[in-house]
Amino acid sequence: QVQLVESGGGLVQAGGSLRLSCVASGSTFSLHAMGWFRQAPGQERDFVAAMNYGGDIRFYADSVKGRFTISRDNAKNTVYLQMNSLKLEDTAVYYCAADFLGNSGLMQSKTYDHWGQGTQVTVSS
């Protein structure tokens, strides 16, 4: 079973950049699709970005397309979310998630069996 730990959150000014990291335990990281989701207070947990386990397909929410980039380093058991041109509305707790042999339904939170604890991202004006 995969255990996930996010890091890299913090306070950043609008227009700035931040890179989130999610480190996974175990030896089967490369066999898991990875996703990033976020949840603002009082709101639903929304899809942000995902990459299938093969690493050849990426998905992005329209709200972050062109600003965020998901990537993975299987040798480091790590998935990243590079966030550029941050906006106030990006403020949320960001969660990474893993799905064994995931190749479909990756924009849906219910697809994922493994979740990290979340890391807070706060964008200020």
Gap between the Cα atoms of 21 and 8, Å rounded: 6
Helix (H, G, I), strand (E, B) or coil at 22: strand
Residue-wise pLDDT tens for the chain (125 aa)?
789 999 999 999 999 999 999 999 988 999 999 999 999 999 999 999 999 998 889 999 999 999 999 999 999 999 999 999 999 999 999 999 999 999 999 999 999 999 999 999 999 99
Compute the distance between CA of residue 36 and CA of residue 103 in angstroms, rounded to an integer: 15
Question: What pLDDT score does 66 carry?
Answer: 98
